[in-house]
Every structure is written in C-alpha cells, then in structure tokens.
Structure 1
Amino acid sequence: MQQFHIRRLREEDIPSLKTLLVELDTSHYEAEPNYYRSPEEMAQIREERNVFDCYLDGNMAAYIACSNRQVVGFISGIVRNITSLISPEKRVGFINELVVSDTHRNLGIGLSLMDKIESDLCSQDIEEIGLTVASFNHEGEDFYHKMGYRVMTKTMTKRVKD
C-alpha cells in the first residue's frame, strides 16, 4: 500500500498544486463546459486574484497530501460569520476545494484531508461545516454523505441563452 502524509501547504508546493488543480478544473469543465470555466481560464483567474497567496497568508486553512515527495491531494477551508434572512446567525466553516489525483484515489487520502480540515475548522469555534459538490460528482456526493454531510439546499439552473 502506498504511504502518504498530510501537512500544511507551503510556498514551494504551489507549482505542484497548480498541476493538481488542473485535474480538478478539467473534470468540472469536461462534465459541464457551459457552466465551468476551462482549466486555462481557472489558472489565469487564480493568478489574477492571488489565490495562492490566500492559501499561505493564514486566512484560509490549506493542506496537501504527499506521497513519494509528490503532491497528490489538496484541501482548503475558511471560517465565516453567516448572516441570513432565513436562518440564525452562525459561525460556519467552509471547505473550498478537495482534490485527490486520479492515480491516488481510494487510498484514504480524501478522508485524511477531510479529517485534517474538519479538525482545523472546528478549532475555530464554528457551529457547522458546509461544502459544495457538483451535481455530476456522484462519487464525491457519496463520499460526503458517508462522512455525515447532508443536503440542505439545491441550486438549480436553466440555460436561457446559448
């Protein structure tokens, strides 16, 4: 069985992380090209918005999974105070993205990354954790259900312009 370890993201990991995120962006774009941006657009937007700096500046929690000195998984999260008309104010942790390389799936990496981010977010006095999963990602949805997540709302869209 292949070994891996989880640790905080460091600046020197960013080039490998960019490669891993291409896998995530490609899967989304190939499944729903009218909804998701292309991997090239996503890479450009991350650079323009300094997303990688946000992962490193302490405002977000960001962890990687490494195997044989290779970045094979990534997760990030953030805590926000939520004010809503329909629900009570609360402090919520959000998981922004979770990705495990295709070649390293079903080895427990996703579960370990989730355990790490949940622990980090819970240490920040939150009431709940939220995340979004793409409707085409049935494997991901099953994974989150097994971890105790449940659907609270569904976003629906209707394309009216081509």
Structure 2
Amino acid sequence: MNYEQNLDTLSKYLLDRLSQEKPEWLNFLTFKKNEGENSYHIDVDLIFLSKSFEYFILSSENDELSIFMDHYHTHCYGDNDTMYKQAMDFILDIIKEELVTVSASVSGEKWFYSACIKPNGIEKEIDHIFLERANSKIVIQSYQGNFNRVIYGTGEKR
C-alpha cells in the first residue's frame, strides 16, 4: 500500500519538511492508521538521537505534532509551520540539554507528575514534588545523561 497518498494533511507536511531538512530521520519513520479514519499519520522514532531516553517519538497523530520521551510528552499547537518550528526547537533544546525531564511516582503507583524544565530548576522541582508527596520516586533524565538521577523520598516532608 502507498501510505504517502493516504497521509493526513499534517503528516504530508511533516514528511515533506523532514525530506528536505532531516532526510536521515526518514529511516526511522512508521505509518500508523488514524483511528476511525481512512488516513494515516507518521511516527518518527528518535531514539537514535538519544543517549538516555528509552522512548523518544515525534508523532503527527490527531492533527498536532507531539513529542514523547519516557514518562513525559508535549504537544505543539498552531498552523503547520508553527507546530514544526516548536517541535524542532524543543528537540534541539533536549539535545543541547537545555531542558531535562522530571517524573515522579509513589511506590509502584502510576506516574503522577512529569515536567520538562531547565537544569537550573531541578532542585526547586524536587522540593515541590516532595512537598506534594514526600515518599515519591523522582526520575530526572537528560539527553546525554549528564543530569540523570533517581531520588527516593523518605516519607518525611522536606
């Protein structure tokens, strides 16, 4: 089947931009059927860019560009040009380690918190999470792994 003919509008746009600007990314592209429609969107598995994340996807699903990294995800909004610029700027900030992800859970419970912040805000974020749930497990991840750590709360408020 020729998936490209059946891509939704945003996916066609993304495929065109990547073909021009990031052709090496096309090797990591998959076509996925849009739920309840006869069209497809694309996912680009960016794990080849990452030294730290286990899951790093750029997706055009639901007429928006989204980036998924382990326990964190973000959505880009606006017209196609705006979404593409937001997504590429975000990915570049992750690669340059100008942003890190912070996620938190409690004793096997589902993840209750995730954020993407500048590295100089890590300690403040940790304090904020421990104020909410003192027995949290906090996972900090960065592209190169320079800021990676796992912190276990003691159950006592800081």
The TM-score range, normalised by the shorter chain, is: 0.3 to 0.5
> Counting strand residues as a fraction of each chain, which structure ranks higher?
2
Larger relative contact order (C-alpha < 8 A, sep ≥ 6)?
1
Using the size of structure 1 for normalisation, the TM-score is: 0.32
From the CA coordinates, give the structure whose radius of gyration is larger. 2
Using the size of structure 2 for normalisation, the TM-score is: 0.33
